[in-house]
Structure 1
Amino acid sequence: MRDLTNLKTFIIDSKDPKEVDDAFSLELFEGNKKKLWIHISNPCKLFLTDSKIDIDARSKSSSLYLINQYIPMLPTEIIEKANLNQNKISDTISASIIFNDDGSINKYEIVEAKIKPKYQLLYEDAEEIIELEPKEEFEIVEIKNLLLNSINYRKKQGAIIFDTPGYKINIKNGNVEIINIQKSISHSIVSESMILMGYVTSLYLFENNIATPYRTHKINCDAEEILERYKDSDIKYSILKQYMGKSYITTKANKHESLGLLKYTQCTSPLRRYLDLIVQRQVFNNINNIERLSHNKINELIDITKIKQLENNNIYKNDKLKYLNIFFKNEIKTSHKIIFIKWINNKKGIALVYFPEYSLELLIVLFISVETYTNKIYKVKYNISNNNLLEFIH
């Protein structure tokens, strides 16, 4: 167990998060050399594999974050114990990374640790510190520089950075609203630290010949050519996704081409994703000389969670559809701007479109004659129907 409570540790998250499972720190050594620490909460030490808590989490596969409801994967008391919080001493699985000048990894180490976060920041607060660069908070500025350099290195290895805004469906005073979320540097550095944690964890498990669910992704197209061809289009990344293959999970380590990594596993959300919990358990057991799960057991868990996750995805989709119906039904505007992406079923009028006003990519029923893969704006009207999808007419 490594005591890292002396490090100035940062948590950056959204407002009122239910599960707080990641943080990072900067350590200076040998003068001005820099070591990035990434910390992930460690719930797996609180219960055993195949215990009632574990089996129940497995049956859920993940926490459900619905528009107006939260269903946790783990019991509330486990989440409260494992959550990282400001000034709370917490158990973690932590990785230290020393970078080369070009942003590649020179050396890494994974340990069981204790941390005591000093700051718990909203993304907006972190963004302000990054912009102002106060001397007393130089650590977060240095962390930003290291992580932006890492992103640039991955880009050179073929990584695709989907630089697009997002959205959130929210309920305020009983009204449904769509909030645009612009991607900031603080979002980018949190995302990059999580990607790096997944990468070094995959290296650790591979080098120690430990079974794990690796995530693999092969790009089945010339991504640079597509992005160049549609460089002026608001939907260039949506178009690219239509050409790229899907990622999949297997116990065989292969490249994750869209991340620009030789191998990759997801491990940064053990409080809300069951396979992340399993990855963490394999690391924890290896550190503590406890028997690891076999390849057959990992394959079995991948199959179980895959089926359940499909069910969860349908729950997400139907929940989103319910509130989007309410939003468009009550919206004062009579028409909405869309950019057409592609027909899913031309005969039935099912199309994938992008609403630029809301940064919303959506499957809808559409009655209109369109040109594919252009940046042309169409104005459509919401049509109340009993369809399984939102319906719009010209």
Structure 2
Amino acid sequence: MHVLYEDAGKLKAETIFSEADTSLQVESASGKRSKIKRNNVLFTFEQPAPDTLLPSAEALAATLEPDFLWEFAPQEEFEAAALAEDYFGHAPDAVEKTALILALSAAPAYFHRRGRGLYRPAPPDILQAALAAIEKKRLQAEQQQQWTEALVAGQLPEALRGVARTFLDQPDKNSLEWKAFDAAIQQLGASPEKLLLSLGVWPDPLSMMRERFLAAHFPKGTEWPPVAVEPWGEDLPQADVEAYSVDDSSTTEIDDALSVTLPDDDTLCVGIHIAAPALAIPRGSAFDDMARSRMSTVYMPGDKIPMLPRELIAAFSLDEGQWRPALSLYITARRHDGEILATDTRLERIRVTANLRHDRLGGAITAEALADPDAEVPYAHWLRPLWQFAQHLSAARDQVRGKPENNDRVEYSFELDGPADDPDSIIRLIPRQRNAPLERLVAEYMILTNTQWGALLARHGVPGIYRSQQMGRTRMSTQALPHESIAVPQYIWSTSPLRRYVDLINQGQILAAAEHGVSARLVAPFKPKDADLYALIGAFDSQYTLWGEFQSSMERYWCIRWLQQQGLQEVRAHVLRENLVRLACAPLVTRINGLPAFERGQEIMLDILGYDDLGLDIECRLREAL
């Protein structure tokens, strides 16, 4: 004797081995035995053999039309076996009963299951709605298939044109459009980015990367609406100094300038003058909300997205010939050994004599020329004493660190002849030595300022946002902790308030400390243990990292474009570790598969085999070790 029963929603036919009141033990054709509940049994039968029942019943069920069964069946609840006898006109055999059960179960729109072997025909109105839904689904499946076929053939259906740009970052995975696109990806074995580029959704990888970034982080556009900025600092004392700023030619937000006076033969007074936008940006103001929403200016080759409105930048940038409010740090020191004798922080107005540019002066200003009093050096009366004191500052930090600072790496500026969103723009890589005098000079005075102002806040108990490095780990916090690689006892960011929100916040705190001294902690914008200051650290760190990653990806893209524009087929590189190398001619790090084991710093020659503008990489192989 055999049995047809349900197991997890499926029909199974097996031979009865033994029976009990509430269960049966059955044996499959393979000899496997199992125990089933009697409540799951549909019926027992003697013929045919269990392994032929279901195949025969499935073939017969395929000939039974659900709409005819629905018309033939009674309109109340019925048993499948009873309907089989009426339908076939005789006592049904096992195959016929099973076929009818399969046909009823396969047509849920026509028949609602009410229990084991029991069904009820769907009411006419419900049936019509269900059939309409089935037809709609069929048509949608056809449409989806048509779209997929078009995509695979390299054609973008008109219906997908308006949503295709959302497929990478904001796809509606329940939509037919996405399902068609996803199916095309699976068939082609291509990445979503490559398929969209091949379909012309974006004209080139550069446009794709820029537009995705802007859509995700600047959906309302990158330009701030026009704002009105009141004049600031007209009642401040005017500083009687000859100050100069030193920046790249592309810099329009002039945050800092330097001045120097020589009271006597062995004393100098250095002024580090920082733009003071915090005067116009009180905590919680509309300008503060703007700056906080961006946290930093976003940089990329040939373009940038300012943190602050342009009108505000123009009002506070230390542009040459203009009186501007500045937060100044004056350092009085001995010239022969660099010992600092006194410091003073003042809020004042300064007028920068000239905005000097690295790329225009760098070649004329060398360490040798500055050391030779007879050599002609531009702005020598300003540069030589600043350079002399900067060397003392650097030597003092080297002594704390226990070794000289490694400043011999070449960095690059990116200049574009053409729009930043045009991949055909000509890119120029301008090498810059980190240990060049102008670079070192500005860096030393910014380090000095950030160290001194960090100490000022700590001395008066005014909280600030510090950067520390201990045991190789760099982090931001409200604690004045040492920065080991810079070799200073404490360090804050405070010299770029037009470009970084942390510097802007710290400037407000420094202004309070400079004006109110020990009582500053009671009147500063952020009081001790202010929870919002802790929240700012995490928010800034996250967003600043995000902006940096985008800048790095854009610079990497333009490095690859530069290699292509130069037509280079071979390049020199230096091994960093294992298969990782840095090119000697561009700021690009890449991996070379199968690279032999070399010592760090080994110079090698590479053949360039191909470029991947989308993956931001180049394919190279080792030619020889040099």
> TM class by shorter-chain length?
0.7 to 0.9
Partner of 1:108: 343
**Residue 305 (structure 2) pairs with residue 71 (structure 1):** yes
Give the C-alpha shift of residue 119 in structure 1: 2.7
Match for 2:532 among 285, 297, 306? 297
1:350-361 matches, cutoff 5 A: 352-358=580-586, 360-361=587-588
Higher relative contact order (CA 8 A, sep 6+): 1
**Residue 246 (structure 2) pairs with residue 12 (structure 1):** yes
**Residues 382 and 46 of structure 1: is their aligned pair in 2 closer, same or farther, counting only changes over 3 Å?**
farther
Normalising by structure 2, we get a TM-score of 0.54
Any conservation in 2 of the 1:12–1:126 contact (CA below 8 Å)? no
Any conservation in 2 of the 1:329–1:382 contact (CA below 8 Å)? no
Q: C-alpha deviations, 1:88-131, integer Å up to 9, x for none?
A: 11111110112255334332111111111223222343764773
**Residues 134 and 387 of structure 1: is their aligned pair in 2 closer, same or farther, counting only changes over 3 Å?**
closer
Match for 1:215 among 458, 467, 474? 467
Any conservation in 2 of the 1:97–1:109 contact (CA below 8 Å)? yes
Structure-2 separation of matches of 1:269 and 1:20: 9
Match for 1:157 among 389, 392, 400? 400
Q: Which amino acid aligns with 2:361?
A: D
Give the C-alpha shift of residue 332 in structure 1: 1.2
Any conservation in 1 of the 2:508–2:524 contact (CA below 8 Å)? no
Give the C-alpha shift of residue 31 in structure 1: 6.8
**Residues 134 and 318 of structure 1: is their aligned pair in 2 closer, same or farther, counting only changes over 3 Å?**
closer
Please state whether the residue corresponding to 2:291 is helix, strand or coil: helix
Q: Which amino acid aligns with 1:293?
A: F
Partner of 1:175: 426
Please state whether the residue corresponding to 2:431 is helix, strand or coil: strand
Give the C-alpha shift of residue 145 in structure 1: 1.0
Any conservation in 1 of the 2:456–2:513 contact (CA below 8 Å)? no
Partner of 2:387: 144
Partner of 1:279: 506
Give the C-alpha shift of residue 252 in structure 1: 1.2
Structure-2 separation of matches of 1:82 and 1:209: 28
**Residues 45 and 115 of structure 1: is their aligned pair in 2 closer, same or farther, counting only changes over 3 Å?**
same
Any conservation in 2 of the 1:95–1:109 contact (CA below 8 Å)? yes
Structure-1 separation of matches of 2:243 and 2:344: 18
Any conservation in 2 of the 1:198–1:268 contact (CA below 8 Å)? yes
Give the C-alpha shift of residue 6 in structure 1: 1.6
Structure-2 separation of matches of 1:115 and 1:25: 10
Q: C-alpha deviations, 1:341-388, integer Å up to 9, x for none?
A: 125xxxxxxx54211123x252x2422323241423131314234763
Q: Which amino acid aligns with 1:340?
A: V
Partner of 2:592: 366
Please state whether the residue corresponding to 1:260 is helix, strand or coil: coil
Structure-2 separation of matches of 1:206 and 1:386: 48
Structure-2 separation of matches of 1:55 and 1:331: 44
Q: C-alpha deviations, 1:237-275, integer Å up to 9, x for none?
A: xxxxxxxx2421111111111111111111110000110
**Residues 248 and 314 of structure 1: is their aligned pair in 2 closer, same or farther, counting only changes over 3 Å?**
same
Partner of 1:51: 285
Structure-2 separation of matches of 1:176 and 1:134: 31
Give the C-alpha shift of residue 86 in structure 1: 1.6
Q: Which amino acid aligns with 2:283?
A: T
Partner of 1:238: none
Any conservation in 2 of the 1:215–1:248 contact (CA below 8 Å)? yes
Percent identity between matched residues is 20
Give the C-alpha shift of residue 15 in structure 1: 1.3
1:195-206 matches, cutoff 5 A: 195-206=447-458
Give the C-alpha shift of residue 4 in structure 1: 4.7
Q: Which amino acid aligns with 1:138?
A: H
Any conservation in 2 of the 1:147–1:192 contact (CA below 8 Å)? yes
Give the C-alpha shift of residue 337 in structure 1: 1.5
Please state whether the residue corresponding to 2:508 is helix, strand or coil: helix
Match for 1:125 among 312, 337, 361? 361
Q: C-alpha deviations, 1:275-324, integer Å up to 9, x for none?
A: 01111110113334543303333211111111111221221122123223
Partner of 1:255: 482
Structure-2 separation of matches of 1:14 and 1:67: 13
**Residue 272 (structure 2) pairs with residue 38 (structure 1):** yes
Structure-2 separation of matches of 1:271 and 1:378: 43
**Residues 120 and 310 of structure 1: is their aligned pair in 2 closer, same or farther, counting only changes over 3 Å?**
closer
Give the C-alpha shift of residue 329 in structure 1: 3.3
Give the C-alpha shift of residue 333 in structure 1: 1.8
Partner of 1:381: 608
Match for 1:26 among 260, 270, 275? 260
Q: Which runs of 5+ in 1 are unaligned?
A: 221-244, 344-350
Give the C-alpha shift of residue 43 in structure 1: 0.4
Structure-1 separation of matches of 2:601 and 2:361: 38
Structure-1 separation of matches of 2:274 and 2:361: 21
Q: Which region of structure 1 is more displaced relative to structure 2, 161-170 or 49-58?
A: 161-170
Q: Which amino acid aligns with 2:571?
A: H
**Residue 570 (structure 2) pairs with residue 338 (structure 1):** no
Match for 1:80 among 314, 318, 325? 314
Give the C-alpha shift of residue 138 in structure 1: 1.9
Q: Which region of structure 1 is more displaced relative to structure 2, 4-13 or 22-31?
A: 22-31
**Residues 361 and 256 of structure 1: is their aligned pair in 2 closer, same or farther, counting only changes over 3 Å?**
farther
Structure-2 separation of matches of 1:109 and 1:312: 35
Partner of 1:316: 551
Structure-1 separation of matches of 2:391 and 2:351: 25
Structure-1 separation of matches of 2:361 and 2:558: 30
What is the root-mean-square deviation of aligned Cα atoms in Å? 2.4
Please state whether the residue corresponding to 1:109 is helix, strand or coil: strand
Give the C-alpha shift of residue 52 in structure 1: 2.0
Please state whether the residue corresponding to 2:240 is helix, strand or coil: coil
Structure-2 separation of matches of 1:6 and 1:133: 26
**How many residues are matched?**
360
Structure-1 separation of matches of 2:267 and 2:612: 62
Any conservation in 2 of the 1:10–1:23 contact (CA below 8 Å)? yes
Normalising by structure 1, we get a TM-score of 0.84
